[in-house]
Structure 1
Amino acid sequence: MDVFDILDRLVAFPSVAGKPNGDIAGWIEAYLAKHTTQVTLLPGPEGDRSNLFATIGPCDVPGYILSGHMDVVPASEPQWSSSPFALRKEGERLYGRGTTDMKGFLAAVLAAVPALAALRLARPIHFAFSYDEEVGCRGVPHLIARLPELCAQPLGVIVGEPSGLRAVRSHKGKAAARLIINGRSGHSSRPDLGLNAIHAMAGALSAVVSEAERLTNGPFDPDFEPPYSSLQAGVIAGGHQVNIIPDTCTLDLEARAVPGVDPASLLAPVKARAEALAAQGFRVEWKPMSAYPALSLPQDAALAALLRELTGEVPLAAVSYGTEAGLYQDAGLDAIICGPGDIDRAHKPDEYILTNELAACQRLIGALGARCAA
């Protein structure tokens, strides 16, 4: 199968994050098994989703991981010009959900398997394909925990998120949470008999605004735009109608932290402000939604030098979006971002990747294979 046939099959799996992924993981497992690749499905604690890890070459020698996720965001937007889960070619564009983020990378990796297997690699190339990346990198921690039993300590991890095939050394970390304040309902004419959850949320929302302003004072990292950490309220909901005391109010908030700052710590002042409401009779729930650490690979790292050699370009210092790379680095592995496509096409109707972007990614993987065979 060539890269286009493989991408066609991958896009056809509606592997939306948070849903069972046995179909796509099983298909990839079967494909790899045909090429005598060492492949292992790693079920997650959910019971209906699995990561996948595979190796070409010797497992007991340090090598490189090509990392990607099998899940995609939903494709319910009415603006799609054709079925999002059926690959459509129009000129050099290949349309479909996940073509750029990031089944295009997976297809390029899988299409390279026969050639890599024929090289008899001296250093292994591993494939680490995760689930539920799009809902907070929930699957890959379980895969990372299993790495010591699956392979020797890798030399580095290349995360194939869309970067225009330009390597990227850094991104911010992120933490998101949902705050739910439960009060007591009643008629609006008797506010003394109820507990207004929206009014109570105002204090927590004020804490978000003040903390967001404080973060503009640093610490700073000039590689990023903006060069400081951030905090924002993204979604707020509560109440039924104007003459009813609202008994529930919900706030979704997120923090994005420059390297060296724990993103979860940026949410702590808001959590503390909300939990203090318990003394007034409110019931407060704090539900973490997602978290991943920042990525910060030194400019002089061997992995950065390798990607500079393979791509012919100096790695970019940073990007604004986040990836699983920070989790690999947090586990003690050097990691870098480098994949085909443009992140600006992701999570939109008529997402697409270009045929020449897939071809360039295949050449990059082939060059990595040549290095590992030397």
Structure 2
Amino acid sequence: MQAMEILEALVGFPSVVGTPNAGIVAWIRDYLQNHGIDVTILPGPEGDRSNLFATIGPRDVPGYILSGHMDVVPAAESGWTSDPFRLRAEAGRLYGRGATDMKGFLAACLAAAPGLAQAPLRRPIHFAFSYDEEAGCRGVPHMIARLPELCKTPLGAVIGEPSGMRAIRAHKGKAAARLTVNGRSGHSSRPDQGLNAIHAIAGVLAQTVTEADRLARGPFEHVFEPPYSSLQIGTLRGGQAVNIIPDSCEAEFEARAISGVDPVGLLAPVRAAAEALTEHGFKVEWQELSAYPALSLDADAPLATLFADLTGCAPLAAVSYGTEAGLFQRAGIDAIICGPGDIGRAHKPDEFICADELFACQAVIEALGARCSA
């Protein structure tokens, strides 16, 4: 099958983040097994979602991982001019949810797979396809934990997020959390008889703004925009009516960290301010939503040099968005970002990838296979 045909099949699975993904996993498994490729399905703890790991070539020597996620963000936003889960081709563009982020990369990998399976690979190429990346990289840690039993420690991991096939060496880490504060309701004429959850959470919000302002003063890592770690309040919900004491309020917080900074640690002052509310009779729940570390690959790392050669251009120093790459690096595997398409098209109506971008990605994967056969 050609990359476009494969992409059409993959887009047809509405594998929205946080939902069961058995359909797309089974299709990819069957496709690879039909070409004699060894596939392992790795169910996640949720029970209805799985990662998929495949090996082409020898298992007993180090090789390279091609990593991508099978899930997509929802497609309920207005502005779609066709069914988001049915690939539409027009003037060299291929429209559909996930076409760029990042089923295009998966399609290029799968299109290259039959040729790789016939090649005399001396080093293996592994496919590591994950679930729930769009929820903060929740699926891939379970697969990374299983790698020691699946393969020799790889020489590198290539995360195929859309980068215009320009390799990227760094991104920030991220952590997100949800705070729920519960007080006591009542009539607004008697505030002395209630516990106002919105009033209580206001102090936590103020602490967050203070911390955000402090982070903006450094330390700095100038490859990023902005060049410092950041903290923000992303959502706030609470109250029923103006004359009812609000008994509940919920806020979500996000931290993004430069290299060497723990993103979860950036949320610690916010959590401490929240938990102090228990001393005043409030019930507090703090829920970590997601967390992944920053990526930082040296410019002279062998993986960076390899992809400069394969793509014909020097890797970019850094990007603002996050990926699974930092998790591979934390596990002791060098990682780099390189995939087809443009991140600016992702998470939007009429998301698309260009057909020639698919073919360019497939060519780089095939070139990597040639290196592994030399």
Shorter-chain TM band: over 0.9
Match of 2:76 in 1: 76
Equivalent residue of 1:39, what SS? Answer: strand
CA distance in 2, matches of 1:251, 1:357: 40
- Listed as ranges, the matches of 1:100-179 within 5 Å are 100-179=100-179
- TM-aligned CA deviation for residue 331 of structure 1: 0.5
Alignment of 1:336-355 (within 5 A): 336-355=336-355
Counterpart in the other structure of 2:296: 296
Tell me, in whole angstroms, the C-alpha distance in 2 between the residues paired with 1:13 and 1:154.
30
Q: 1: CA distance between counterparts of 2:3 and 2:55?
A: 19
The answer for the alignment partner of 1:12 in structure 2 is 12
What is the match of residue 232 of structure 2?
232
2:234 counterpart of 1:249 = no
Q: Distance in 1 between matches of 2:336 and 2:78?
A: 35
Determine helix, strand or coil for the equivalent of 2:51. strand
CA distance in 1, matches of 2:363, 2:32: 20
Consecutive unaligned residues of structure 2, counting only runs of 5 or more, are: none
User: TM-score scaled to structure 2, two decimals?
Assistant: 1.00
Mapping for residues 170-209 of structure 1, pairs under 5 Å: 170-209=170-209
C-alpha separation in 2, matches of 1:292 and 1:301: 22
d(CA) in 1 for partners of 2:120, 2:101: 30
**3-state SS of paired residue (2:102):** helix
1:262-341, aligned counterparts within 5 Å?
Answer: 262-341=262-341
SS of corresponding position for 1:316? coil
Superposed CA RMSD in Å reads: 0.4
Deviation, 1:117, is: 1.0
Gaps of 5+ in 1: none
Instruction: Report the CA distance between 1:14 and its aligned residue.
Output: 0.1
2 CA distance for matches of 1:197 and 1:77?
A: 32
In 2: Cα distance, 1:248 partner to 1:280 partner: 15
Structure 1 residue matching 2:81: 3-state secondary structure = coil
**Map of 1:368 onto structure 2:** 368
Shift of 1:219: 1.1
Q: Secondary structure at the match of 1:112?
A: helix
State the AA in 2 paired with 1:201.
I
* Whole-angstrom distance in 2 between the partners of 1:219 and 1:163: 27
Q: Which deviates the most, 234-243 or 111-120?
A: 111-120
Q: Counterpart amino acid of 1:343?
A: I
For these two proteins, the number of residue pairs brought into alignment is 374
1:308 corresponds to which letter in structure 2? A
- Calculate the TM-score normalised by the size of structure 1: 1.00
Distance 1:5 1:171 in 2: 32
Q: CA deviation at 1:359?
A: 0.8
Q: Does 1:55 align with 2:82?
A: no
Alpha-carbon deviation of 1:120?
Answer: 1.9
CA distance in 2, matches of 1:270, 1:67: 34
- Aligned-partner SS, 2:28: helix
Find the counterpart in structure 1 of residue 65 from structure 2: 65
Give the AA of the match of 1:322.
Answer: G
The one-letter code matched in structure 1 to 2:342 is D
